[in-house]
Structure 1
């Protein structure tokens, strides 16, 4: 593995959040506890979060950090979700977002190597 980071924490957390949403969507669908629409949205966003997490993990492995455009897009999605559903799973995305932002800031603060 040609990794600049030992463990892609931001991507892994997004994968975990997506997996939890997918499982919850399937459980809601199987138990018929809620409307089918709720099951669909849990499952669809869970799969999308897993895909995002895989992409972010690969970025962390190749670059050593998550880039600003990806962090900005994730922040915008999270802000949009929190605006419409303040107490929701979007709160959990704040943790990987904070970790990714911290890694990006620390990477930017590194002094460039002398040429």
Structure 2
């Protein structure tokens, strides 16, 4: 979308603020993937780490909410229109932190497992 949408006669990808949003989105996605990837490797080896699973869930749902929010921002006013995919993703992203246990529950799992 950022490559195609134009503002002030050029694609919005040409604006530093948009590129920086995309860089931040990409960074958060990579971090969440790394954490969930590490969890998958450990699980495949037969290791159970509830704290790491809770951290991975928190990181993934935080990333999802952040990325969807930034996508709506990049889309501008169109990002709030039901005809645009990011609007639905933005709404759906609000539910992900709740399913499987809220952030508070995940944090309790982390603190108990780590002895805090």
* Pairwise TM-score range, normalised by the shorter structure: 0.3 to 0.5
Task: Give the structure with the larger helix fraction.
Answer: 1
**TM-score, normalised on structure 1?**
0.41
Asked which structure has the greater CA Rg, the reply is 2
| RCO comparison, higher one (Cα < 8 Å, 6+) | 1
